[in-house]
Amino acid sequence: MGLLPIPRARWTAGRGEGDSVIAKINQPHPGPALYTDEERRRRDASGWTLVQGILAPVQFLVFLISLGLIMRYFATGEGLAMAQMSVVIKTLTLYAIMITGSIWEKEVFGVYLFARPFFWEDVFSMLVLALHSAYLVALWMGGLGAAGLMVLALAAYATYIVNAGQFVWKLRLARLDAARRADALADGSPGSIEAVLSAAGRVS
């Protein structure tokens, strides 16, 4: 979101600092901002933001434990029941983060799924959800053998890793954007924010 150009006739002495700050804020950067100012405010005010921040590492920890149990089964042929149950627990944590994430997305962006900043992440999440759910169905119906179930679980986990990487990348972009904005406002002197407002004609 860029500020509108300010006619040169409206500038007065001492406003050159605001000029440089505005230029820095509006300098080209890759892609649109992840959040608008209003979306950022709603994100920071939402209790679901904290819930997501807790569930994401919990799910990753469950994933690591489950992956270790699956690898142990393939290596030794032992611990099948524990490996199977660990995938069930991993799937339940996925459901929890998907449901709460949809609520968070509704509060911040106004839609439950496929909000503009996370559209492709949500699309890929559907594949992750489908494979995890397929595992539960196969386990319940007994349609696959033990090895087949574990292979299906590994396929689901592979999509989970890709999807997690997508969200981590978006988180990095959000932090870079926030740092860029903060750096632009802090550039110059302590009065740079006032200089921005002054340059925009909002402070006499």
5 token code pair:
């150009």
Domain-located, residue 112: yes
Instruction: Please give the pLDDT value at position 86.
Output: 98
Domain presence at residue 3: no
Helix-then-strand count for the chain, H and E = 7, 0
pLDDT of residue 11: 42
* Contact between residue 156 and residue 132 where contact means Cβ atoms under 8 Å apart: yes
- pTM of the full predicted structure? 0.71
Note the pLDDT of residue 144: 87
- The C-alpha angle 105, 85, 58, rounded to 5 degrees, equals 40
Asked whether the CA dihedral 174, 179, 180, 186 is positive or negative, the reply is positive
CA–CA distance, 85 with 70 (Å, rounded to integer): 10
**Block means of pLDDT (10 residues each) for the chain, length 204 residues?**
44 48 48 82 94 96 98 96 98 97 95 92 96 97 91 98 91 76 62 40 36
pLDDT of 14: 47
In a domain, 152, yes or no: yes
Report pLDDT for 189: 47
Q: Is residue 69 part of a domain?
A: yes
The Cα–Cα gap between 149 and 136 comes to: 9
Residue 2 lies in a domain: no
Q: Determine the structural domain holding residue 93 and report its residue range.
A: 9-199
Backbone angles phi, psi at 143, to 5 degrees: -80, -15
| Number of domains comprising the chain | 1
- Stretch (H or E) spanning 90: helix 80-109
> Which positions ≥6 away from 135 have C-beta within 8 Å?
87, 91, 149, 152, 153, 156
Residue 4 placed within a domain:
no
Q: What is the predicted pLDDT for the residue at 33?
A: 76
- Tell me if 14 is assigned to some domain: yes
Q: Taking CA 27 as the corner, what is the angle to CA 24 and CA 29, rounded to the nearest 5 degrees?
A: 125
pLDDT for res 126: 97
Instruction: Tell me the C-alpha distance between 56 and 158, whole Å.
Output: 16
